[in-house]
Amino acid sequence: MLTLMFILLGVIAGAFSGVFGIGGGLVLIPALVYLFHFSQKTAQGTTLALMIPPIGFFAAYSYYKAGQINIKAALFIIVGFLIGSYFGAHFATMLPNKKLSKAFAILIIIAGIRMLIT
């Protein structure tokens, strides 16, 4: 049963990812924390592990076929992302779960409010 629930969560997150370009941060992490009782760190680590290239490939390919990907920008962002994700993950694993969860919630709230206003 747990396996089916994880698959359903993947379908929902995948749909959000395909439609909005989101999934990990706004869907998977809160679901893993609140529905599956993962710690904040385990939810984040699990989400990062599943987003290894094959996951986003098919969605990205659809955008590529439609001419909606800037390859040059993506390649440069990848370089920065690799560096930032390494140091960010190192920092996050040193924080207490409660502080990390609160920081994550604040980030989502600020992003949502900003998108509503602008």
What pLDDT, on a 0 to 100 scale, did the predictor assign at position 48? Answer: 81
Q: For the chain, what's the residue count? A: 118
Mean per-residue pLDDT for 11-27?
77
- Asked which of 18-22, 31-35, 56-60, 108-112 is least confident by mean pLDDT, the reply is 18-22
The ranges assigned to domains in the chain are: 2-117
Q: List pLDDT tens digits, range 32-90.
A: 999 999 988 888 888 888 877 777 788 788 888 998 888 898 788 788 878 988 888 88
Averaged confidence pLDDT in the chain: 85
Q: Structure pTM?
A: 0.68
